[in-house]
Amino acid sequence: MIEYPLVTVIEGKTKIHVPDVESFKKSPASYPPSDAPVFYNKVMELNRDFALAALRVYQKKYASREQLHYCEPMAGSGIRSVRVANEIENIAVIINDRNPQAVELINENVKQLQLEKKTQVYTDDANELMLRFGAVGKKFDILDIDPFGSPSAYIDSAAQVVSDNSLLAVTSTDMATMCGVYSKACIRKYASKPIHTWISHELTVRMLLGFIATAIARHGKMIRPVFAHSTEHYIRVYVIVEKGITKAKAAMEKLGFISHCRNCYSIDYSFGLINTLTRECPHCKEKRQIGGPFWLENIYEKAFVDELVLELQQLEDLYGKQRQMSKILALITEELKAADSQKASICYYDLHQISDKLNSPSPALDATIQELIKKGYIATRTHFRTNSIKTDASIDEIIKAMKKVLKKK
Ligand SMILES: C[S@@+](CC[C@H](N)C(=O)[O-])C[C@H]1O[C@@H](n2cnc3c(N)ncnc32)[C@H](O)[C@@H]1O
Ligand SMILES: [Zn+2]
């Protein structure tokens, strides 16, 4: 019998009971989802909406079999998995949380929605659950790792329980660490040196992908990133995992280092697990920041993103956060125009930062993009940061384009 206050919410097509988190708020500065006996965060509805949309795309276009096996090892209130069980056909859903009160609530919702036949609910440690299933050869087609903070402690177990051609989705809310506020903690958790600067949000995605690729490769598998987004206080990546030693070796070659110069804003990269970028910036001779290893290849797959766009157009009433998702997808669709050029697709230039340095007003973003395109460069906006441009133009060419736009004004 659940004795703490509950509220009923509707996400997607699912009506579910969750803790009334506001009633648990301990102090004005506290974070109510963590104060409640069971974790539920309304802000993560967009994360869950994208998770269901990605699952539908995977099921339609990527899955190898008709009957899918899904697992969420850290389910909190269970809202994500219960939505999956309630809204998706041909799927068996494993829901787990080590918090017994979470499992009590999950069971309650499974019962009220009559989902007993499609679900199995466990109260285990996430790693123990994944390794136990993996050990007896029961593999998941979709695995959703959505922990508190860092996912780093769960990826090795995840690698052992995903099937060939599976969809692995991972959230990280460990942003301060991954952005380089806590550099040593970052190296400890992700074996990657962060760069603390305005390109950090894309770097965190590339760091997480590099970390996942390495853990997966250890088990003779490779990742193919299909989708990622950086939203509010978290990042989220979606990768297809494929089996094969040769593929795993090839994936390791996609890692490398990135440099960022705070003086002239140039961004450079070098492939390989040994850094070959010089500390002295070759463009302005100042000292620059170097971080890595990061995933240097594409972080989105065009076909997957195109399908997500279609999914939202056709089934928009399934997603409460449809408008916000469409905006993110529109920017990512633009970013994909830079995908054929590594120089253009790796990180971005912030026009405000450059203008501050030049002591001049910031030019209009779209006009600057058009100016660069006129010159024959790739140039796009990015969902990672407003007022920023992905381009294969050099920093000198970007400044020229900015000045031209300001002059026209
Ligand atoms: C961020 S919440 C999950 C939110 C949920 N995925 C959603 O979409 O609403 C993280 C959950 O992980 C659980 N947890 C933390 N460490 C765990 C572990 N080692 N094994 C299993 N569950 C764990 C916590 O009890 C908490 O409910
Ligand atoms: Zn420089």
Taking the CA of residue 126 as reference, the ligand 1 atom at the shortest distance is 20
pLDDT(310) > 90: yes
Question: Residue 105: which pLDDT band, with cuts at 50, 70 and 90?
Answer: very high
Percent of the chain with pLDDT over 70: 100
Q: What is the mean pLDDT of the chain?
A: 96
Return the sign of the alpha-carbon dihedral for residues 71, 72, 77, 80: negative
Question: Residue 396: which pLDDT band, with cuts at 50, 70 and 90?
Answer: very high
Cα dihedral 111→114→115→121 (10° resolution): 10
- 243: which strand partners? 221
Q: Inter-axis angle of helices 322-335 and 45-57, to 10 degrees?
A: 60
Question: Residue 314: which pLDDT band, with cuts at 50, 70 and 90?
Answer: confident
pLDDT(27) > 90: no
- What is the phi-psi region of residue 127: left when phi exceeds 0, alpha when psi lies from -120 to 50, beta otherwise? alpha
What's domain 302-408's architecture?
A: 2-Layer Sandwich (3.30)
Q: Which residues touch 153 (CB under 8 Å, ≥6 apart)? A: 127
Q: And the tokens for 3?
A: 């004795």
For residue 242, the model assigns a pLDDT of 98
Query: Where do the domains of the chain lie?
Result: 6-295, 302-408
| Residue 93 dihedral angles phi and psi, to the nearest 5° | -115, 120
Residue with tokens 């040994």: 274
* pLDDT digits 0-9 by tens, 331-361: 999 999 999 999 999 999 999 999 999 999 9
Give the span between the Cα atoms of 57 and 65, in whole angstroms.
14
* pLDDT digits 0-9 by tens, 250-273: 999 999 999 999 999 999 999 999
Pocket of ligand 1 (CB under 6 A): 39-40, 44, 48, 73-77, 79-80, 97-99, 102, 125-126, 146-148
pLDDT(317) > 90: no
pLDDT(34) > 80: no
Higher pLDDT, 24 or 213: 213
Helices (H), 61-99: 79-87
Give the span between the Cα atoms of 159 and 141, in whole angstroms.
12
Give the span between the Cα atoms of 79 and 11, in whole angstroms.
8
Q: Calculate mean pLDDT across residues 367-390.
A: 98
For residue 271, the model assigns a pLDDT of 98
Of the candidates 147, 74, 76, the one whose C-alpha atom is nearest the C-alpha of residue 109 is 76
6-295 shares its CATH topology with 302-408: no
* pLDDT digits 0-9 by tens, 144-164: 999 999 999 999 999 999 999
Using DSSP, state whether 228 is helix, strand or coil: strand
For residue 23, the model assigns a pLDDT of 86
For residue 315, the model assigns a pLDDT of 80
Q: How many CB atoms lie within 10 A of CB 182?
A: 16
Predicted TM-score (pTM) of the model is 0.97
pLDDT(389) > 80: yes
CA of 285 to the centre of ligand 2 (A): 6
Of the candidates 178, 184, 183, 185, the one whose C-alpha atom is nearest the C-alpha of residue 199 is 178
Using DSSP, state whether 229 is helix, strand or coil: strand
Q: Which residues touch 344 (CB under 8 Å, ≥6 apart)? A: 338, 377, 378, 379, 380, 390, 391, 392
Q: H-helix or E-strand containing 100?
A: helix 100-112
For residue 167, the model assigns a pLDDT of 98
CA of 77 to the centre of ligand 1 (A): 9
Q: Calculate mean pLDDT across residues 19-26.
A: 86
For residue 261, the model assigns a pLDDT of 96
In CATH terms, 6-295 corresponds, of 3.40.50.1980, 3.40.50.150, 3.20.20.70, 3.30.1180.20, to 3.40.50.150
User: Mean pLDDT lowest for which of 36-50, 196-210, 310-324?
Assistant: 310-324
CA of 148 to the centre of ligand 1 (A): 6
Q: Calculate mean pLDDT across residues 110-133.
A: 98
Question: Residue 22: which pLDDT band, with cuts at 50, 70 and 90?
Answer: confident
Q: What does each C-alpha distance from 71 to 3, 145, 405 come to in angstroms?
A: 28, 9, 51
CB 2 within 8 A of CB 104: yes
Residues near ligand 2 ion, CB 5 Å cutoff: 261, 263-264, 281, 283-284
Mutate to test the pocket of ligand 1, among 77, 98, 154, 321 (most ligand atoms within 8 A of CB): 98
Question: Residue 31: which pLDDT band, with cuts at 50, 70 and 90?
Answer: confident
Q: How many CB atoms lie within 10 A of CB 1?
A: 4
For residue 35, the model assigns a pLDDT of 81
Q: What does each C-alpha distance from 214 to 37, 237, 249 come to in angstroms?
A: 35, 15, 10
Q: Tally the C-alpha atoms within 13 A of residue 46's C-alpha that lie toward its C-beta.
A: 19
